[in-house]
């Protein structure tokens, strides 16, 4: 289900997409999170290093997916936003993890094990919007674009696989794209998996 929004700039587009996502009911949010976790099951292989995120606002919850990943023997990591700059690293999430408030008052896991982005196998990425070319519109902070900047140097990378998680309502016909914007390898919604046309 794709649609167009008649907004000339990303600020207005983000506002409209946030409103569209927030209009979904709590029951729709719960059902979507469970359906996305089920769709993603093939990516959760034992010993894989999987990164997720802590959902904020009306973002799609990744917890059902991360709990399933742990159950299947994956190593799970969560992003840590730096105090300076925009390149995140990833902190292990397991029974030894503790929590603190990080940047933007988003809860962050703390753990002795921290991983560089290049060492991850699969990264589940939040987003506001996406299109059929798997262009991604994020919140505007540039953290994922900066963290995975090395992906722009070649068309094909074996890892990490970048996977957007979204509601079906977040797909648009086309997104405005800048040279530094991240493109995804897959987008998983409650009803389908979209693969990069590259």
Domain harbouring 150, CATH code = 3.40.50.10420
**Domain-embedded: residue 1:** no
8 Å CB contact between 103 and 80 = no
| Full pLDDT tens readout for the chain, 198 residues | 555 555 557 888 999 999 999 999 999 999 999 999 999 999 999 999 999 999 988 999 999 999 999 999 999 999 998 888 889 999 999 988 988 888 778 888 889 999 999 999 999 999 999 999 999 998 877 899 889 988 876 666 678 999 999 999 999 988 887 777 788 999 999 999 999 876
Q: At 108, which helix (H) or strand (E)?
A: strand 107-110
**Domain-embedded: residue 3:** no
Whole-model pTM: value is: 0.90
Residue 67: give the domain boundaries. Answer: 10-195
**Domain-embedded: residue 2:** no
Q: How many domains does the chain have?
A: 1
- Helix (H), strand (E), coil (C) string for 14-49: HHHHHHHHHCCCHHHHHHHHHHHHHHHHHHCCCCCE
**Domain-embedded: residue 74:** yes
């Amino acid at each position: 289900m794709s649609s167009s929004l008649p907004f000339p700039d990303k600020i207005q587009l983000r506002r409209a997409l946030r409103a569209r996502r927030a209009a979904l009911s709590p029951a729709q949010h719960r059902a979507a999170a469970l359906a996305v976790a089920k769709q993603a099951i093939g990516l959760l292989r034992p010993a894989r290093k999987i990164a997720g995120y802590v959902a904020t606002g009306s973002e799609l919850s990744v917890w059902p997916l991360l709990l399933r990943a742990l159950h299947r023997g994956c190593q799970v990591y969560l992003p840590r936003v730096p105090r300076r700059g925009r390149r995140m690293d990833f902190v292990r999430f397991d029974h030894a993890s503790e929590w603190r408030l990080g940047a933007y008052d988003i809860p962050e896991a703390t753990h002795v094990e921290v991983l560089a982005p290049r060492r991850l196998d699969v990264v589940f990425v939040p987003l506001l919007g996406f299109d059929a070319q798997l262009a991604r519109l994020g919140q505007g902070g540039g953290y994922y674009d900066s963290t995975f900047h090395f992906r722009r140097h070649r068309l094909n990378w074996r890892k990490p696989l970048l996977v957007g998680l979204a509601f079906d309502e977040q797909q648009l016909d086309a997104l405005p794209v800048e040279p530094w914007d991240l493109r995804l390898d897959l987008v998983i919604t409650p009803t389908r998996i979209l693969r990069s046309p590259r």
